[in-house]
A and B are shown apart, each in its own frame.
Chain A
Amino acid sequence: EELQVQMICFNFETVQVTWNASQYPGTNLTFFYKFSPEEEYSPCPRYTVDQGHATGCLLGAKDAILYFSIRDGSRPVLTMDQWVSEYLKPSSPEDVRFSWHQEAVTVVCTNLSYNGLLYEVQYRSTFDTAWQSKEEKSCHVTVDGLDAEKCYSFRARIKASEVSYGSATHPSDWSETALWQGGQPRDRCPEKEPLS
């Protein structure tokens, strides 16, 4: 049965390839990689280990095709190539700022340095049970129709668009949740007054 491999590319900075070590009990598999067919394979710079067994490799990344070979001693167990972008996980939004104008807020953050992303803002008031979402192709998302009296929670994340990256990517982690009421930041939202 072919060795099962997973990959996550963290913001095109590092890529983590992990494998199911239990498929080769008692063996320490080794990992070799390169970023172009002409190059020579390089050994994994940093293994991830679990209970004394290599379970993956962490290496520097870029938007390119990763060629890798996982070996049992000198025998290749799996040799593959893959666009690391297919498994991209962007970093969380940074420097998230809010600017209010009447019943609308524009959420802005630093755009990441590469293309094909979707910047998502989720929001809900204390009266809502579910989050509502809005997304744009740059980190400049305006949400309108908000009630100045209500206290709202906002959070943001970055997703890779399926057109540019395929469907196996991972959304970024959420930013911290920010609370706002009447255009002012809040530490806490007041408890909902019980319906009289």
Chain B
Amino acid sequence: MVLTYNFTNCDFTKIKEDYEKLIVGDFQTYINGTKSTQSSNYIFCSNQSDCLAKIESLTFGTHAGCGSLSKEMFACRTKATFAHRCPDYPRVKVNNTQAMKKRKKREDTAKECLKHVLRLQGLWRRFTRAP
């Protein structure tokens, strides 16, 4: 059972700065390297803590057809930001129960992963402007 951390007490301003300085570029690098896809079934988030909870779930969860994104640079930096800016954020949160199989980036896996990354990008953007 994966406990959901409550992001309400995080330092949103600092997280936003970390995103602007680092994570934005990681997404761009990832997206530029992968053929784009038309529709992505974006995910909505209402306020900043809701956005961070969904960002965490999407970043560190495992996804059919894609596997896990947790090894990507943006994920490592997301984890570092949460650990640094959110009080008592549990250090080891990543659900790595099964050994990460070496995943050759096949065309369909890349496309499936890109959908999740575009959703993440949408959530982060919403986080930076949410009321």
Contacts and interface: CB of A to CB of B under 8 A. Distances in A.
Interface residues of B, number: 18
B18 to A, nearest CB: 12
A163 B24 contact: yes
A166 B19 CA distance: 13
Contacts of A116: 125, 128-129
Contacts of B130: 115
Contacts of A36: 44
A175 B7 CA distance: 40
- Among B19, B44, B122, B129, residue most surrounded by chain A Cβ atoms (within 10 Å): B129
A163 B20 contact: yes
Contact of A163 (B19, B41, B42, B122): B19
Contacts of B40: 81
Contacts, number: 45
The majority secondary structure among interface residues of chain A is: mixed
Interface string A100-119: 00000000000000111000
A95 B24 CA distance: 34
B44 A65 contact: yes
Contact of A166 (B20, B43, B125): B125
A85 B39 contact: no
Interface string A54-89: 000000000111000000000000011111010000
A36 B130 CA distance: 17
A94 B130 CA distance: 23
B42 A165 contact: no
Contacts of A81: 39-42
B38 A163 contact: no
Given A36-B44, A64-B44, A165 B129 contact: yes
A83 B125 CA distance: 10
Of all A-B residue pairs in the complex, the 7 with the closest CB atoms, nearest first, are A116-B129, A164-B129, A115-B129, A164-B128, A65-B42, A80-B39, A163-B20
Interface of B: 19-20, 24, 38-44, 121-122, 125-126, 128-131
Given A65-B43, A81-B40, A115-B129, 16 more contacts: A36-B44, A65-B44, A81-B39, A81-B42, A82-B42, A83-B122, A85-B125, A85-B129, A114-B131, A115-B128, A115-B131, A116-B128, A116-B129, A163-B128, A164-B129, A165-B125
